[in-house]
Amino acid sequence: MTLTSGRRAGRAAELLLAATAAVSWAFLAMAGVAALGLHLLGADAVGALGPMTGALVVLAVGGSLTPSGSVEAFGLTGAGAHTTIDIAPLGVSLTGALLLGWVFARSLRRAGPEIGGGELAARVGAVMLLFLGILGGLAWAGSSSVTLDGSGLGLGGQDASPGGSGLDIPGLGDIGGGLPDRLAGLANAKAAVGFSVRTGPSLLGGAVWVLLVLLITLLAARRAPVPRGWAVAHRAVRPAASALCAVLVLAVVAGLAAGAGAAATGDDHPGRVIGGALLGAPNGVWLGVPLGLFVPLRGTATGSLLQVLPDPLPGLLGAGTEQTISVGRLADLEPLVWLLSVGCALMMLTAGVLTGARTPRGAARPLAFAGRCGLCLGAATAVALPLLVVATRVQVDASLSVLGIDAVGAGLELGGSVPAALALGAVWGFGAGALGGLLASVAGAAGRRAAPYGRGPGDGGAPPGGTYPAQAHVPGPYNPSPGYRPARDETNPYLRPPGENPFTAPTQTGHPVPPPYRPRRSSDYRYGSSPVPPPDERPPPPPRGRG
């Protein structure tokens, strides 16, 4: 009873420590990325960095904010300013998801090749409870206001542009509006934009976010155990899911490197570019992936928000009405847009080759193996592409009039079609998986990178070079480990010709071969110098006398 209770207590302590490590590392990394990005963007100059960091982390995990405006300029009150923002900083989200999933998957490996459904549910529940507890604390702390003070912007002594038509502000350019006559009044203008976290919707969004991250981790972590009956995930689901996740993360890294390179080459404000890329690189990259795979987008942009869009989107959305965005329409304005489709096609082909290398081949022929890889990657892409479309939707509605900048009616809405993403994802995934599996078979790489748990009897039983305990958990016939040294025929007594003297037999090394093992007889044992007679030749013991 005591031993069983001790084991249960140790198991519960291990579960709690694993959940604490996963959640704490994820939140620390997200807070660090959010704070660094806000600092590089210069947001800490107009507001407290702590509450803004907490609010950004809440947004990154599916939370919600309630903005409020209070403007004191030219008699305009707070009713003249309001903002609605529905966009998640996916740079912060991706950082937290990668760390949370990696630590969670590593903690599962201690369970062996299989994990019980109850234990897996307990681990997921512990992670969720700790995650939502910390998220609730951030929701309480993530409320503050950002104040723009005209006297601190150096506008009082700013000279007007020629003709008195506008004002040139560093980082924004000539914003116009006939400001030269109002500079004295603007020096005392103040605008405060407050925000507060909506606790209920944020906790609900955080629960959905953490469940989705843990589910993707279980589907993509090839060396993590699964419950009994889920063994098909090792051979069909995990190779394609892990390959697709790898190329999507690699695309984000490439986008982040491109942003850093652009900042280092010729931008006047490299810190802002790097901060924006750090927070929003996945937003731009994962919005471009569906577009490059011919998923149509629909969007509108009005007012000053047209200036934040990259070329050639302002030329297409400048009409002010809802427009359909496709690679063909953008290529009419900028022919280099076709390179986006080329890059996305190469990305999918890379995912197909990785799927072929990570899928156990067994005894399947090349065409059958390629078809299986195509089906697996097609199913994975049909799920992943709609998720990217939903995650990268943008909706901004701003009404703000401060410092002479009239942004009333400014708005931006951009999103893709989920049904089109599902259909095109299945088509692209099947084609890339089939071609990648065929290329892997021709190159001899098919199944070379398969995880130990995914190999079966037809795959050699155990991975090449595998060691204990990996080989012990692989299903199939007994596969002995290789010997420590090569065998020699002259040392094998069963291969020696009859009547040959073992001490005179020739050897390759020149050393005499020891004789084979021969058990000793009873006559070979001696007491002193006399041999011990056999048991049947010993004299009977003398009778023992009485008294």
46-60 pLDDT per residue, tens = 677 888 888 888 889
171-226 pLDDT, tens digit per residue, is: 334 434 444 444 344 334 444 555 667 778 888 999 999 999 999 999 999 888 88
Sign, CA dihedral 94-96-97-103, equals positive
**Same domain assignment for residues 394 and 289:** yes
Amino acid identity of residue 62, one-letter, is G
How far apart are the C-alpha atoms of 105 and 451, rounded to whole Å? 14
The tens digit of pLDDT for each residue in 102-145 reads 999 999 887 777 888 888 999 999 999 999 999 888 877 655 54
> What local confidence, expressed as pLDDT, does residue 547 receive?
47
365 and 424 share one domain: yes
- Measured CA to CA, the distance from residue 273 to residue 278 in angstroms comes to 9
169 part of a folded domain: no
Other Cβ atoms within 10 Å of 351 Cβ, number: 28
Poorest-confidence range of 19-23, 101-105, 330-334, 418-422? 330-334
The pLDDT value recorded for residue 188 is 44
Is 384's pLDDT higher than 80? yes
Across the chain, what does the average pLDDT equal?
A: 75
The reply to whether 290 and 411 lie within a common domain is yes
Element (H, E) at 26: helix 2-41
Angle at CA 74, nearest 5°, toward 68 and 79? 25
Looking at per-residue pLDDT, the higher value among 171 and 448 belongs to 448
Measure the CA–CA gap between 519 and 522, rounded to whole angstroms.
Answer: 10
Inside any domain, residue 540: no
Looking at residue 490, what is its pLDDT?
63
* C-alpha to C-alpha distance for 191 and 146, rounded to whole angstroms: 8
Averaged pLDDT for residues 363-375? 91
Strand partners, 302: 411
Confidence of residue 70 (pLDDT cuts 50, 70, 90): very low
CA nearest 66: which of 246, 193, 161, 181? 193
- Angle, vertex CA 142, rays to CA 140 and CA 145, nearest 5: 125
Higher pLDDT residue, 239 or 80? 239
| Euclidean distance between the first and the last CA atom of the chain, given in angstroms as a whole number | 59
Is 272:171 a contact under the CB 8 Å cutoff? yes
What Cα–Cα distance (Å) separates residue 279 from each residue in 26, 204, 275, 367, 410? 16, 23, 6, 43, 23
Same domain, 245 and 347: yes
Are residue 218 and residue 87 in the same domain, yes or no? yes
Q: Where are the alpha helices (DSSP H) in 221-325?
A: 232, 238-265, 270-292, 313-317
503 domain-assigned: no
Domain with 136, as residue range(s), is: 1-153+185-230
Same domain, 195 and 290: no
Distance (Å, whole) CA 226 – CA 112: 9
Tell me the average pLDDT across 263-285: 81
Residue 54 CA to residue 27 CA, distance in Å, equals 10
On whether residue 421 sits in a domain, the answer given is: yes
Q: Is the pLDDT of residue 151 over 60?
A: no
Q: Which helix (H) or strand (E) holds 196?
A: strand 190-197
Which residues, 6+ apart, have CB-to-CB distance to 185 below 8 Å?
73, 74
Is 394 in the same domain as 270?
Answer: yes
Catalogue the E-assigned strands of 311-428.
323-325, 394-399, 401-402, 405-406, 410-416
Whether 494 is in a domain gets the answer no
Q: For residue 69, is pLDDT > 70?
A: no
CA distance 332 to 312: 10
Task: Give dist(CA 544, CA 533) in Å, integer.
Answer: 23
**One domain for residues 404 and 366:** yes
- Looking at the domain assignment, is residue 168 inside a domain? no
Give me 236's structure tokens.
Answer: 């069909």
pLDDT of residue 502: 55
- My answer on whether 205 and 302 are in the same domain is no
Same domain, 372 and 250: yes
90-102 average pLDDT score: 94
pLDDT tens digit sequence for 475-496: 455 555 555 556 666 666 667 6
363: confidence class by pLDDT, cuts 50, 70, 90:
confident
Q: Based on the fold, state whether residues 215 and 288 are members of the same structural domain.
A: no
CA distance 152 to 167: 16
Burial of 484 from C-beta contacts in 10 A (0-12 / 13-18 / 19+): exposed
Task: Determine, yes or no, domain membership for 483.
Answer: no
Domain termination residue (choose one: 230, 255, 284): 230
Judgement on whether residues 216 and 293 belong to the same structural domain of the protein: no
In a domain, residue 466? The reply is no
Integer angstrom CA distances of residue 469 from 452, 463, 472? 10, 12, 5
pTM for this one?
A: 0.72
* Element holding 83 (H helix, E strand): strand 82-86
Q: Which of 395, 427, 453 is the last residue of a domain?
A: 453
pLDDT number for residue 245: 95
Of 453, 477, 502, the last residue of a domain is 453
pLDDT at 314 over 50: yes
* Number of domains the chain is built from: 2
Q: If we measure between CA atoms, which residue out of 104, 101, 390, 122 comes closest to residue 241? A: 101
Q: Is residue 41's pLDDT more than 50?
A: yes
Beta carbons of 449 and 357 less than 8 angstroms apart: yes
